[in-house]
Chains A and B, each alone.
Chain A
Amino acid sequence: MGEEFNPSKPIYLQLVDRISWEIIKGERKTGEKLPSVREMAIQSGVNPNTVSRTYNELERMEIVETKRGQGTFVTEEKERLTQLREELKLNHIQNFIEEMKQMGFSSEDMIDGIRTYVTNEKENNA
């Protein structure tokens, strides 16, 4: 049934994250129409009012645009999407650092760890 949601974060924000993620990954293209509120509600098993809230939030973030009588579209402002990509990157880095700190790793440990990991991966793929 529907999808799993994290119980400690509002669903409308989890949907905002999910749609942003899909746009960055290119699964939803610039200028593409998003499903209607009802379709999105059915697809994700989520309350339609929650989906409306998600769309409003995405619009406030200028990631989507609502055209009267036509629906909601991914923005065509490439710059905004580049910026969104950076925001998501920062977000992931923050979460990573937060968790590593909790496990007691220093900044140097993290950077070393990443460097080693990336080097190993390159060699394995070579």
Chain B
Amino acid sequence: MITFENVSKKYLTKHALSDVNVKIPEGKIIGLVGSNGSGKSTLMKMIAGLVAPSEGSVTIDEEAVTRRTASKVAYLSELDTYYSFYSVKETVTFFASQFPDFDTEKAYEILEFMDVDKEQKVKHLSKGNRGRVKIALTLARDVPIILMDEPLSGLDPMVRDSIVKGLLSFIDLEKQTVIITTHEVTEIEPLLEMVIAIRNGKVLALEDVETIRERDGMRIVEWLKKKYQEEA
């Protein structure tokens, strides 16, 4: 369980998060949705221990998030964070040297599943294949929490499909929790078990997706709009 208690984050005068209270359960794939600049990435980075709260506390299984708990979290950033002059294989070796929980065999298995050539230099890969490499590097870590910031952004439907299939093939929800931010919500809706709505740094709701469908007869996007209107 990931717990945010009265968490605020201020950058100079801007509130990135204000008074966030939310308990994120484990063993689920959870969507984090909200407009640009709503605080999604800040929330993710706090779980990863990359951003510290200005106020309040973030805990994973009742342990405060520090650089040490970061070993429980695999974080796929929106940005490209590898060395482009490495080959895919060298990148895998590099990641294995950085993370003791990195499963090299699994990384190759995922890359093969997604049809990525290991010998290619990262800088020569297509954008889609770079997206696939990032997914492989993230899923190859044997950690309880996987965070993915916009894993589908800017990729064509074929690549998005192979990434979703890769995700479903290589995560283990008995041991892992996955949190995903995306603008392609409708596309991955069947993948999500729960969803967190965030607006202007405030968490508006955490809800079961099947409940939204059954009770409100809505897609996540429509539900999010409704939540935004209620708040405005």
Q: When the two chains form their complex, are residues A11 and B213 in contact, meaning their CB atoms are under 8 A apart?
A: yes
In B101-124, the 8 Å CB interface with A consists of none
Tell me which residues across on chain A come within 8 A of B157, comparing CB atoms. Answer: 1
Q: Place the interface of chain A in its size category.
A: 20 to 34
Provide the residues of chain B in CB contact with A45, threshold 8 Å.
161, 164-165, 168, 190-191
Q: Is the CB of B191 within 8 A of A47?
A: yes
Residue from A3, A41, A49 within 8 A of B28 (CB atoms):
A49
B29: which of A1, A12, A47 is its contact (CB, 8 Å)? Answer: A47
Question: Interface size of B by Cβ–Cβ distance < 8 Å?
Answer: 25
Pick out which of these stretches binds chain A: B77-85, B130-138, B197-205, B214-222: B214-222
> Assuming the A-B contacts A2-B164, A11-B213, A41-B168, are A46 and B218 also in contact, with contact meaning beta carbons closer than 8 angstroms in the complex?
no
Contacting pair B29 A9 (CB below 8 A): no
Q: Are B193 and A47 touching (Cβ within 8 A)? A: yes
8 A Cβ contacts from B6-47 to A: 27-29
Residues of A within 8 A of B (CB): 1-3, 5, 7-12, 38, 41-42, 44-50
Which residues of B are at the interface with A, using a C-beta cutoff of 8 A? Answer: 27-29, 157, 160-161, 164-165, 168-169, 173, 187-193, 210, 213-214, 217-219, 222
